[in-house]
Amino acid sequence: MIITGKVFKYGDDVSTDLIFPGRYTYLPLEEADMAQYALSGLDPDFAAADAEGGIIAGGFNWGCGSAREQAVKSLKAKGIRAVIAKGIARIYYRNCINEGLLPIVCPEAAEAIENGETVTIDTEKSVITAAGREFSFPEFPPFVMGIIESGGLIESIKAELK
Amino acid sequence: MGKTFAEKALGRAAGREVRAGDIVTVYPDFCLSHENAASVSRTFKSTGAQKVYDPDRIVIVFDHTVPAPTGGYAENQKVIREFVKEQGIRHFYDMNCHGGICHQILCQEGFAAPGLIIVGSDSHTCTHGALGAFATGLGRSEVASIWATGKLWLRVPETIKINVTGSFKPGVGAKDLILKIIGDIGGAGADYLSVEYHGPGIEAMSLGERMTICNMGVEMGSKNSVCRPDEKVFKHLEGCAKKEWEAIWADEDAEYIRELNYDLGELVPALAMPGRVDNWEPVTEQTGKPIDQAFIGTCTNGRLEDLREAARILKGKRVKVRTIVQPASVKVYMDALKEGIIETMMEAGCVMNHPGCGPCVGVCGGIIADGEVCISTANRNFTGRMGGKGSEIILASPATVAASAIAGAVADPREAIK
């Protein structure tokens, strides 16, 4: 899998409350409708931005807090395809895999990447190309990569149940 | 080399010997969800599955939006009631005289038991480790997948061991311990890890106090938190256990990646200042800081011992800011009523909420406005979580919140009980 996209860069400890506030969490929203609330607790400009094919660069403990999956779904609905962070909270990390959004923990890359630059992620080589350099990250176990490549857990379950 | 609790519990569930780093497939004993079961049920149906894998392993508790504050939330609940009926799910706790916050219900009603694997679409599912279960939070897709297939993959985590000795001084409690631990380890300091609590300091605690500690495991990133199951747990489970269980604990020579020691006698009343749960400060650093609201409740600190401690401080006094009290379950509410705790609190000017999560998650029952500050017994203080975008939350123990409510500003509970 190769992903090339524009980076939206944020800081440390961005909680799921900031990515997708609780007041929208228990409403029956369609996935497409979640996009308008993505990062609404943190970045008022994100809703209007063209994020199609984009990549989030985060600091330490990205996605900490509530298990709410909309904190991943809303970014995906906005067009985001990967998160590169210095650290990703556990439940958020699993939610990314389960939504088919690539979660990469790579502190060096997350530090070096600049907001707005275009970055390439190559999962076969486990390399990020950014800021004129290459950064390697740990390979995903094949079954995890399989879930991401099939578009997420539910898509892979559908195939299993057929 | 001995094994940790996580290695033993996940090995038992997987039916083979496992070590930290291994990937296992397990069939969780109980799978919890709350109002997000509506979304989970839609995802479940999208898989093409018709019937859930085992309806008796599913527990659904209404707590985040009770009583339904809007038409949208009411519709959401209706979807779940219909799904529960259609699938024959017995373990359903609607908004009625048996209800409460999901984690309180699972611990109170005998679902959480030693050695069981409990998962749920709520990050504070780690609470159930207080009774010796391996318990962890998941997202909604994963819960839909468990409803459909019964199974889940987990990586066996490495473990941090925390030894607790000594006893609390007056005005200091379990919340002050866990806020200190998170302050020391950091908000991501236990990322992906299991946390075991050992020692006489933990053994002396009530199950409720242990729940306070395990509840906040996720605030340092941990996968699960657990206390050794003992006679207190076994006695509680007599007659109410929902499933056969087996007491499991770590071996003496288990391997840990980190070990920490705490003496309860050295702790002071703690705060987590706004924005980050690891933003620890002793209460004495902030005494006199104005607050707009006080909140006593949640899965962290809404139990009988918490309400009792707060009432002890509130007795005969009058609160200076709006103060909301929300017991963790109807049973806790009734027990507190019988003990006279509720009367004491209402005479002090507190307002009672029906048991649930509303204010903590910014959904209903005590939202705060932009720029306001709430001192709360909850587990999260992320900016804007309780309402307005710029609103702030200070986390503290029930004693500290009660003392602050009377003062109308952050106050030291040790002064209030003199």
pLDDT tens track for A100-141 = 999 999 999 999 999 999 999 999 999 999 989 999 999 999
CA distance A142 to chain B (A): 12
| CB distance B324 to B357 below 8 Å | no
Tell me whether residues A61 and B140 touch, CB distance under 8 A: no
Which residues of A fall within a CB distance of 8 Å from B389?
41
What sign for the dihedral angle of Cα A142, A148, A149, A154? Answer: positive
Q: What is the pLDDT of residue A26?
A: 74
Taking an 8 Å Cβ-Cβ cutoff, which residues of chain A contact chain B?
13, 15, 17-18, 21-23, 25-28, 41, 60-61, 64-69, 72, 87, 89-91, 94-95, 98-99, 141, 143, 152-154, 157-158, 160-162
- pLDDT tens-digit readout, A60-107: 999 999 999 999 999 999 999 999 999 999 999 999 999 999 999 999
DSSP chain A: -EEEEEEEE--S--BHHHHS-GGGTTS---HHHHGGGTTTTT-TTGGGS--TT-EEEE-TTBTBS---THHHHHHHHTT--EEEES-B-HHHHHHHHHHT-EEEE-HHHHHH--TT-EEEEETTTTEEEETTEEEE-PPPPHHHHHHHHTTSHHHHHHHHH-
Using the predicted structure, report yes or no on whether residue A27 has a pLDDT greater than 80: no
Tell me whether residues A143 and B75 touch, CB distance under 8 A: no
CA distance B169 to chain A (A): 31
Tell me whether residues A154 and B141 touch, CB distance under 8 A: yes
Torsion of CA B301, B303, B304, B305, to 10 degrees: -40
Task: Tell me which DSSP letter residue B101 carries.
Answer: -
Which residues of A fall within a CB distance of 8 Å from B188?
60-61, 64, 87, 89
CA distance B404 to chain A (A): 26
Tokens of A43: 């970045």
Using the predicted structure, report yes or no on whether residue A160 has a pLDDT greater than 90: no
Residue B9, CA atoms < 13 Å, CB-side half-sphere: 37
Nearest CA in chain A to B150: A157
Report which of A22, A31, A30 is spatially closest to residue B64, judged by C-alpha positions.
A22
Residue-wise over B219-255: b if at least 16 C-beta within 10 A, else e?
bbbbbbbbbbbbebbbebbeeebbeebeebbbeeebb
- Could you tell me where the beta strands, DSSP code E, fall in B312-382? 322-326, 351-352, 373-376
| CB distance B106 to B59 below 8 Å | yes
Which whole number is the average pLDDT over B290-294? 98
Task: Tell me which DSSP letter residue B216 carries.
Answer: G
Nearest CA in chain B to A157: B47
Tell me whether residues B149 and A157 touch, CB distance under 8 A: yes
Share of chain B above pLDDT 90, in %: 99
From the number of C-beta atoms within 10 Å of its C-beta (0-12, 13-18, 19+), residue B316 rates as exposed
Tell me whether residues B47 and A161 touch, CB distance under 8 A: yes
User: Nearest CB to B148: which of A17, A21, A157?
Assistant: A157
Sequence-distant (≥ 6) Cβ neighbours of residue B379 within 8 angstroms:
B124, B215, B216, B219, B277, B298, B299, B300, B360, B395
Nearest CA in chain B to A95: B139
Which residues of A fall within a CB distance of 8 Å from B75?
28
pLDDT level of residue B202 (50, 70, 90 thresholds): very high
Rounded to whole angstroms, how far apart are CA atoms B201 and B204?
Answer: 6
Which residues of A fall within a CB distance of 8 Å from B385?
15, 17, 21-22
Using the predicted structure, report yes or no on whether residue B347 has a pLDDT greater than 90: yes
Which whole number is the average pLDDT over B52-76? 96
